[in-house]
Amino acid sequence: MILFGVQVSLLVVILAGLASVALLVFSSNVAVKKLTGLAGFFRLSTTFMGATVVALATSIPEIASHLTASVGILTNKLDYKIGSAVVLGSNIGSDVVQQTLILAIVIFIAGSLQYKRYFMWKSMGPMIGTTLMCIVLAWDRTYSRLDGLILFGTFIGYMYYLYRDERKHYQEEDNGFSPDGQVPEGVPQNARQAWRDGGIALFSLSITIISAMVALQITEFTVEQTGIGGSLLGVVTLGLASALPELITAVSGINNGDAGIPLGTLVGSNVTNPLVAIGGGAMLSSYWVPAPLLQWDLPWEVVTGVLLWVFLWFKRGKIGKRGAVYLTLLYVSYIALRTIFFAVD
């Protein structure tokens, strides 16, 4: 088999793909930790931090994949349809796995999670609305540059709204600062340390982008060799791998006794992924939208979000291990039906 102009075996291709995904997840996790500390340095609450800074940071794999795919499409290094299918599949697949399987794992570890109804309106409502927007804009089977501008512009407006709301309600205790001013672990002590952590985060981001490009090239190669739909590979492989930073960050928050980060991150990332990743990528190259994404993945994401919202509303915002079981079954059903009925783009 020929990959990157070199004769290689299928085993080497598989190992290279696994290594690139592992490096992508590792480098993005380093960036997440540094950016989380920087958020504390600038005095942002954990819930706001999770919904904005950390959600944006944990979406690095999706954003990097879209940017590298768009550059590849523009330079003819990636096939327009295959490249579009892979990154859109991984983006939407990542959102679904976060709403179901990742959230279920976090609940199993924590025992239960408590959502405030105000948070449900402020964050979960936009999460569902964002997916509906993606369906409407993709109705003609493309994300044009204008569509990308609409998505990305919506993200800027939403971040401005959250920031204004944060300034009204922020308390230093929200992200671990003690009454005597003691700085939490991981937060820079001074501007010099903040610049250092920012540099480490930027370096990690560059490694993430390189890893994403390698993973995309290998996925396109696999699609060409096997005939499996690019969007299905994106949903099952890159979508699951791309959601690992959210899982790692959420579990870390739970272990530190803080539910603000996991709640904000899992919901905020599902707003960031489509608005920034799809929006930014579409502004560069535009995308072709495979039928399975429009007929199955995006509608399933809406249904999952609505079911979760309704469940939480009637349970007064609390979800326990029984709810986690339901979420796991939703994810298994999603993947099984996707594989059986929508395997080919």
Model pLDDT, residue 248: 67
Residue 182 lies in a domain: no
Residue 310 lies in a domain: yes
Residue 174 lies in a domain: no
Residue 163 lies in a domain: yes
Q: Which two structure tokens, joined as six digits, stand for 89?
A: 């599949």
Q: What is the mean pLDDT of each run of 10 residues along the chain (345 residues)?
A: 53 73 73 74 70 75 84 89 85 84 86 77 86 95 96 92 76 53 69 88 76 66 61 62 66 62 75 92 94 91 90 86 92 86 74
Residue 3 lies in a domain: no
* Cβ atoms of 324 and 108 closer than 8 Å: yes
Model pLDDT, residue 82: 83
What's the structural domain count of the chain?
Answer: 1
Structural domain of residue 85, as residue ranges?
8-169+187-341
Model pLDDT, residue 57: 74
Specify the pTM: 0.75
Residue 195 lies in a domain: yes
Model pLDDT, residue 336: 87
> Which domain CATH number covers 101?
1.20.1420.30
